[in-house]
A = this chain, B = another copy of it.
């Protein structure tokens, strides 16, 4: 048995890092690795009542096959509650329910990328998106970022150089992995560039509702009058990731293509999970719940930043994210964060080395820290231990 797999499988490889990170499942590990929300905040009492009632009152339809597009009430409530102040007046017809944002990323690869096509992303970018796109064998062109997000002049240079580029992929709000937020001015500019160069923007915004200070900037999509922005949303960070419910918000013509892809890919998302999420939002305030999350994450972020200031060598730079789940650490250029991870794991601390966030590789002196999934006491201990590992190199 030695099967002849497709060529694309060469780009889909088991990650050495993933194997290392399996160790983080041990209970005694202090893990800053995943992008996991805090499960102690899940509103279990409300969810269990709603699950029970949905099955009791509408079980015959809630456990049956249903429309590929998604549960109509859920699509409505997403428009009413989660998407606000947009120029194109979104309706449920602009919404497709997906299995988390990850599936929307995979579909975007399928929709746009032929082998060898250029796609444009931030440098660094989300590793799950990079993996999803890689299956379609694109050429990644990375555009540098500064503290206001992707550098627009550099983006336009790339658009001029690669007129056939298929899309711009961006995470504008509290970016994964850097925590950086794109400025309002650049958001407007990005839509202008999309129109000028006739290229779609895939705006991935899983963290936009998690502003830990001030308020989030208006979405890129909110400036889009003419359907150039495809926005991806999810309940994984604001509610519960276990439901695997996200959505694509796009111009109806574009959405039709995503719907056809969804039909071939898995027919539809879980009928029952869609209904639980919709009825939760109908009966309770998700905004109130998000405010509770923000309160907790804010403390955790502050604790992490304070601990990094206290325990990390002074020369180490890191981002002070204003929202979301992550901070991003830069080591000396000759250092490799994968080696640091091996040492840190011996001290029972985990994080994600930065190299996987650069689609074209080559940068080993960064790593990502998550603060949403650990209580404050463990954050202090973990950062102290990590500081001790790092001090050996400074």
Contact, CB under 8 Å: B51 / A39 = no
| B240 x A268 contact (CB < 8 A) | no
Within 8 A of B (CB), among A373-389: none
A228-B1, A270-B242 given as contacts; is B44 within 8 A of A14 (CB)? no
A34-91 with Cβ < 8 A to chain B: 34, 36-37, 39-40, 42, 44, 47-48, 51-52, 55-56, 59-66
Interface pair A114/B6, CB less than 8 Å apart:
yes
CB distance from A44 to the nearest CB of B (A): 4
Interface contacts beyond A99-B99, A102-B266: sample of 9 additional A-B pairs, CB < 8 Å, sorted by A: A3-B200, A5-B112, A39-B59, A40-B60, A44-B55, A63-B243, A66-B242, A106-B265, A128-B264
Which residues of chain B are within 8 angstroms of A55 by Cβ–Cβ distance? 44, 47-48, 51
Q: Are A266 and B244 in touch, CB under 8 angstroms? A: yes
Query: Is there a chain B Cβ closer than 8 Å to A4's Cβ?
Result: yes
* Bound: A272/B131 CA distance, A: 25
Which 7 A-B residue pairs are closest in the complex by CB-CB distance? Answer: A242-B271, A63-B240, A39-B60, A63-B242, A48-B55, A44-B59, A99-B266
Contacts of A271 in B (CB 8 A): 241-244
**Is A166's CB within 8 Å of the partner chain B?**
yes
Q: Quick check: is A267 within 8 A (CB to CB) of the other chain?
A: yes
Distance between A34 CB and nearest chain B CB, rounded to angstroms: 7
> CA A2 – CA B227 in complex, angstroms?
10
For chain A, the count of residues having a C-beta within 8 Å of the partner chain is 83
Which chain B residue shows the least CB distance to A40?
B60
**Chain A residues packing against B (C-beta within 8 Å):** 1-9, 12-14, 34, 36-37, 39-40, 42, 44, 47-48, 51-52, 55-56, 59-66, 98-100, 102-103, 106, 110-114, 117, 128, 131-132, 134-136, 164, 166, 198-200, 226-228, 236, 240-244, 251, 253-254, 256-257, 260-261, 263-273
Are B65 and A241 within 8 A (Cβ)?
A: yes
29 A-B residue contacts at CB 8 Å?
A1-B227, A5-B111, A5-B257, A6-B111, A6-B112, A6-B113, A6-B114, A6-B117, A9-B111, A9-B257, A12-B260, A34-B65, A37-B64, A39-B60, A39-B64, A40-B60, A44-B60, A48-B56, A64-B240, A98-B266, A99-B269, A100-B267, A103-B266, A131-B264, A132-B264, A243-B271, A244-B268, A244-B269, A265-B265
Residues of B within 8 Å of A113, CB to CB, are: 6
A52 touches B48 (CB 8 A): yes
CB pair A36–B64 under 8 Å, yes or no, is yes
- How many copies of the chain does the oligomer comprise? 2
The CA-CA distance from A266 to B114 in the complex, in Å, is 21
Q: Which residues of B contact A5 (CB under 8 A)?
A: 111-112, 257
**Residue of A37, A59, A62, A98 ringed by the most chain B CB atoms within 10 A:** A59
A260 to B267, CA, bound (A): 21
Which residue of chain B has the shortest Cβ distance to A132 in the bound complex?
A: B264
Least CB distance, A176 to chain B, in whole angstroms? 14
Cross-chain contact A254 with B3 (CB below 8 angstroms)? yes
Bound Cα distance A60, B222 (Å): 34
A41 and chain B: residue at smallest CB distance: B60
Output the nearest chain B residue to A59 by Cβ-Cβ distance.
Answer: B44
What is the bound-complex CA distance between A55 and B44, given in angstroms?
6
Looking across the interface, which residue of chain B has its beta carbon closest to that of A65?
A: B241
Tell me the bound Cα distance from A39 to B6 in angstroms. 39
- The answer to whether A256 and B51 have CB atoms under 8 Å apart is no
Complex contacts, A62 vs chain B, CB 8 Å: 242
Q: Which residues of B contact A267 (CB under 8 A)?
A: 100, 102, 128, 244
A134 CB, min distance to chain B CBs, angstroms: 7
* Interchain CA distance A131-B4 in the complex, whole Å: 22
Most chain B CB neighbours (cut-off 10 Å) among A9, A268, A272? A272
